[in-house]
Amino acid sequence: MSGGGLVAGPDGGLRCPWGLSTEDYVVYHDTEWGKPVHGDDALYERLCLEAFQSGLSWLTILRRREGFRTAFASFEIAKVAAFGPADAERLLADEGIIRNRAKIEATLANAKVLAGWQPGDLEELIWSHAPKKPGRAPRNTADVPAVTPESTALAKALKKAGIRFVGPTTAYALMQACGLVNDHLAGCVSREA
């Protein structure tokens, strides 16, 4: 996200400018981005999708999300942890997802790690890195950081726990998507919704 401030949508409501660039983004911006996400499987899904997004447009991932859900057993950690080499090869041939070997292998390896955790451990780890005080609402997209001390700490904690393919930028995108931070611009219809 770079550039300006709020833009009026077709309904007259002011939104973050990226949230009006396509119909897919309008729905995602208005109903999902920045809303709190809880539950280990739901957070594992977001963690995986953010890793797959690395180096790509989020729109590419958003438009393939149902394909990802089908390919990765709805991101149920226990089910993905049971995937074997044949599943990895199947995923590499699946045109409904991003067929990147390193990202697929990380997704499978991360499920195996998380399957050994107690229920709620992933949620606790991620949400423990939410800023203690909400920051000031950004006025324009240039005010929105790509990395914060909290996202750097979250990435380190995940890596230390054995989670692959997550750095500070991916961790911050996860924090934004899952509502740990609210980066809707000041005055955006979705900021307080």
19-41 pLDDT per residue, tens: 999 999 999 999 999 999 999 99
pLDDT reported for residue 135: 81
Q: What is the largest CA-CA distance in the chain?
A: 51
Partner residues linked to 8 by β-bridges = 14
Averaged pLDDT of the chain: 95
Tokens of 85: 């080499």
pLDDT reported for residue 4: 79
| 48-77 core/surface letters (b: 16 or more CB in 10 A; e: else) | bbbbbbbeeebeebbebbeebeebbbebeb
Cα–Cα distance between 50 and 23 in angstroms, integer? 20
pLDDT reported for residue 1: 39
Kindly tell me if the per-residue pLDDT of 2 is higher than 70.
no
Cα–Cα distance between 62 and 60 in angstroms, integer? 6
- One-letter amino acid identity for 23? E
Following CA atoms 91, 95, 100, 102 in sequence, which dihedral angle do they give, to the nearest 10 degrees? -10
Map tokens 């977001």 to a residue: 46
Q: Catalytic site residues?
A: 28, 50, 58
pTM of the model: 0.94
pLDDT reported for residue 134: 80
pLDDT reported for residue 193: 61
pLDDT tens sequence across 53-90: 999 999 999 999 999 999 999 999 999 999 999 999 99
CA proximity to 67, closest of 104, 106, 34, 30: 104
